[in-house]
Amino acid sequence: MSFFKRRPAPTAPSFWHDVPPPEAIYAIGDVHGRRDLLAAMEAVLAQDWTQRSYGDVVLLYLGDLIDRGPHSAHVLDHLTAPAPKGVRRLTLLGNHEEMFLAFVDRPEANLAWLDHGGGETLNSYGIYLTKSDIMRMPRSKVLQHLRASIPRPHLDALRRAPRAVRSGDWRFTHAGLDPTKTDEAQTAADLTWGAAGDVTALSQCAGRLVFGHFAADQVRTIGQTSCIDTGAYATDRLTALRVIPRTSDATTEFFEVYKPDRTSRQ
């Protein structure tokens, strides 16, 4: 008889964050440094939840808050500030946030991020280092520049961000998921990098799922599956979707902001 107990096999970490259903969730597509469009969108959404007398609202940002656009630092300033009364802010980790965090930890090993909008993000913090600067400077000096200019709360908020959220029957991810897998079998590549591809472009319905990542000039919806990344940094168009997770009713409503002085609702 053995006196040694077999250790249980390690389980894969869950990327899902379960949120008790609020009265409404407003999912907001990829912002990409467009603080102006985000401000305009939140004003439209605030008018909606006020008119409907919602007292428990979640603003759910689907990731890719930063890069490409000019005001990434200002977007993160806004999202780490206190939310309005009755409102909770929740941010998913997008692939651009993941690249940003990797760069902050090891700049010399993650220079490729600068070619994917990272340069604009550094500029928004008042950092004007080029690839050649970083390769030439001692690593300690580069890290000193980053730590002096990027607020710790910005980095902490992104490091805490989940990759996926479930609330009621609804699921929210940055880049969709692999519809052939269970929730718990999804990988970071599936949820954050879209390894399985845009399920709406493939005409696949993955249930009540909302995601971004795959930019286009309009929303794509297949059944109850919606991709709401409308390429804000390039199109001047930001999209959000309201869902009511406490009910079995799948009714949704899209909101679109084109510029601060021109808004429309579908």
CATH code for position 200: 3.60.21.10
229: closest CA among 189, 266, 256?
A: 256
The answer for 221, left when phi > 0, alpha when psi is -120 to 50, beta otherwise, is: beta
- Evaluate if residue 6 carries a pLDDT over 80: no
- Evaluate if residue 10 carries a pLDDT over 60: no
Residue 193 lies in a domain: yes
**What pLDDT score does 4 carry?**
46
**What pLDDT score does 5 carry?**
52
Residue 7 lies in a domain: no
Indicate the pLDDT class of residue 13, thresholds 50, 70 and 90.
low
**What pLDDT score does 2 carry?**
42
The Cα 97–Cα 116 span in angstroms is 11
- Evaluate if residue 52 carries a pLDDT over 50: yes
Residue 6 lies in a domain: no
24-28/57-61 β-pairing: parallel
The Cα 258–Cα 263 span in angstroms is 6
**What pLDDT score does 7 carry?**
54
Residue 240 lies in a domain: yes
The label of the residue with tokens 């597509």 reads: 29
Residue 163 lies in a domain: yes
Most confidently modeled range among 4-18, 55-69, 245-259 = 55-69
What's the domain range around 29? 19-259
Count other Cβ atoms within 10 Å, centred on residue 17: 16
